[in-house]
Amino acid sequence: MKEPSILIVEDEGLIALHLQELLGKCGYNVLDPVPCGEDAIEYVNAFPHPDLILMDISLDGKLDGIETAREIQKRFDIPVIFLTAHIEATQLARAESLASYTFLGKPFIQSELISAIKKALGR
């Protein structure tokens, strides 16, 4: 059985690399990170879609993480775990219409991240 694939959408390069390394060591198939929502949408439209997306809420570009997830979930049933330094009530309200999502604060605890990933993937 193939390991689940995870797409990281993060505009902070060091955070993206840290996540990529951490998840790779945990046995996940980590796709090359993308820095903005537009690139994430392009990726899932052009390639086999990932099993899970780790998405920063505050992204460079025209779309934030919540709007990016909304656009992706219009066409694909991909669970999203949002990573953010600041969870606000307005963000929670905007995310409620999404099919499947979880919020994790930054900095995150590795065991909480892995637990959220397993839950999102239905393991």
pLDDT in tens, 88-123: 767 667 777 676 678 888 888 999 999 999 999 985
Find, among 110, 108, 50, the residue nearest to 82 by Cα: 108
Which range marks the domain in which residue 62 is found? Answer: 5-88+101-118
Give the number of domains in the chain. Answer: 1
Q: Is residue 39 part of a domain?
A: yes
Q: Is residue 11 part of a domain?
A: yes
- Strands, E assignment, the chain: 5-9, 29-30, 52-56, 80-84, 101-105
pLDDT in tens, 29-43: 999 999 999 999 999
Instruction: Please tell me the distance from the alpha carbon of residue 98 to that of residue 77, in angstroms, as a whole number.
Output: 10
Strands 80-84 and 52-56 turn out to be parallel
Q: Is residue 93 part of a domain?
A: no
Q: What is the pTM of this model?
A: 0.90
Q: Is residue 105 part of a domain?
A: yes
For residue 80, what is the domain's CATH number?
Answer: 3.40.50.2300
Q: Is residue 64 part of a domain?
A: yes
Q: Is residue 55 part of a domain?
A: yes
